[in-house]
C-alpha cells in the first residue's frame, strides 16, 4: 500500500500483542510534497509557545516523513495512545483559535457549527482481588495496568475538550471564531438503571460478543444519544425536531 505524505487513509489497525502490527511501505519524500513546509507556512502567524501541541505533532510527522530512515511503518491500534481519538480534534480547535491562517486553510471560517460525538464504552469488569491475601497474577496486573492508563487518558481528553467548549462559549465574538461547538458525550456511566449499567460495564472488550450483546449495546447507545441534552441542542440549532423519545 503506497501512502504519500499528503494522503489521508482510513485503516482498521490490529490490537497490540493479540495481532501483529500492520506494516506499510513508506514512500514519503518521493512525491515532491513537503508537509513540514506547509505546516510552517500555515502557522507563521502564531507564537510557537501558544501551539506547543501542534509543533510536537509537526516533529512526529517530520520523523515519519523520512522515507529513508523510516522505510517501513509498523502500525497498531491507536487505542494505546488515544483511545477516543480526541487529541487531533483538540489540537485543531486550539489552532483555530490561535491561527487565522489555519482557520482559512482548514475551512473553519466557513463553519457555523462544530459537533463532536464521543462514544466511550469502556468496560469495568468486577474482580475479587480485594478479598484474597495473595496478589493477582501477572496477566491480570498487565491487563489492569493498560486499561487504567487508557481509561484515565480518555477521561482527561474528554475534560480538556469540555473545558475548551466552556472557554469558547465564554469568549465567542471576540478573538474566537463565531462557531457553535457541541460536545456530545455518550458514556455507559450515564445509564440510570443500576443493574443495566452494571451489565454493560461487565461486557468484555472482545471480538466474540453474542448477537444479543451487540443488539443491546447498539440500542442503549442510541438511547443515550437521543437523551443527550447537547445532542438535542444541536438538533434545535439545525431546526430539527428533538429526539428525546
Residues 69, 167, single domain; the answer is no
For 192, other C-beta atoms within 10 Å of its C-beta total 7
**What total of structural domains would you count in the chain?**
2
Residues 26, 138, single domain; the answer is no
152 in a structural domain? yes
Q: Please write the tens of the pLDDT for every residue from 135-187.
A: 888 877 777 777 777 788 888 888 888 888 888 777 665 556 678 889 999 98
121 in a structural domain? yes
- Residue 34's domain comprises 1-77
This prediction's pTM: 0.73
Q: Please write the tens of the pLDDT for every residue from 76-100.
A: 877 777 888 888 888 888 888 888 8
Residues 32, 120, single domain; the answer is no
Q: Please write the tens of the pLDDT for every residue from 186-221.
A: 988 888 999 998 888 888 777 788 899 999 999 999
7 in a structural domain? yes
Burial class (CB in 10 A: 0-12, 13-18, 19+), 74: exposed
Helix axis angle for 211-227 and 229-237, nearest 10°, is 60
Per the DSSP assignment, residues forming a β-bridge with 72 are 25
Residues 121, 216, single domain; the answer is yes
Amino acid at each position: 500500500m503506497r501512502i504519500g505524505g499528503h494522503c489521508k487513509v482510513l485503516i482498521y489497525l490490529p490490537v497490540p500483542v493479540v495481532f501483529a502490527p500492520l506494516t506499510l511501505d513508506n514512500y514519503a519524500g518521493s512525491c515532491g510534497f513537503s508537509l513540514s513546509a506547509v505546516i510552517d507556512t500555515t502557522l507563521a502567524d502564531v507564537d510557537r509557545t501558544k501551539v506547543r501541541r501542534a509543533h510536537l505533532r509537526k516533529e512526529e510527522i517530520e520523523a515519519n516523513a523520512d522515507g529513508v530512515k523510516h522505510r517501513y511503518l509498523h502500525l497498531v491500534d491507536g487505542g494505546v495512545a488515544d483511545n477516543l481519538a480526541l487529541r487531533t480534534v483538540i489540537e485543531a480547535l486550539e489552532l483555530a483559535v490561535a491561527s487565522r491562517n489555519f482557520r482559512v486553510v482548514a475551512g473553519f471560517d466557513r463553519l457555523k457549527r462544530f459537533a463532536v460525538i464521543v462514544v466511550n464504552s469502556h468496560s469495568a469488569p468486577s474482580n475479587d482481588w480485594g478479598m484474597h491475601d495473595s496478589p493477582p497474577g501477572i496477566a491480570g496486573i498487565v491487563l489492569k495496568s493498560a486499561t487504567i492508563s487508557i481509561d484515565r487518558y480518555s477521561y482527561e481528553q474528554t475534560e480538556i475538550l469540555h473545558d475548551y467548549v466552556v472557554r469558547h462559549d465564554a469568549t465567542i465574538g471576540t478573538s474566537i471564531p463565531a462557531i457553535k461547538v457541541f460536545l456530545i458525550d455518550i458514556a455507559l456511566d450515564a445509564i440510570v438503571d443500576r443493574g443495566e449499567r452494571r451489565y454493560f460495564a461487565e461486557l468484555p472488550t472482545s471480538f466474540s460478543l453474542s448477537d444479543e450483546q451487540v443488539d443491546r449495546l447498539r440500542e442503549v447507545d442510541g438511547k443515550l444519544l437521543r437523551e443527550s441534552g447537547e445532542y438535542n441542542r444541536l438538533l434545535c440549532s439545525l431546526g430539527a425536531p428533538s429526539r428525546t423519545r
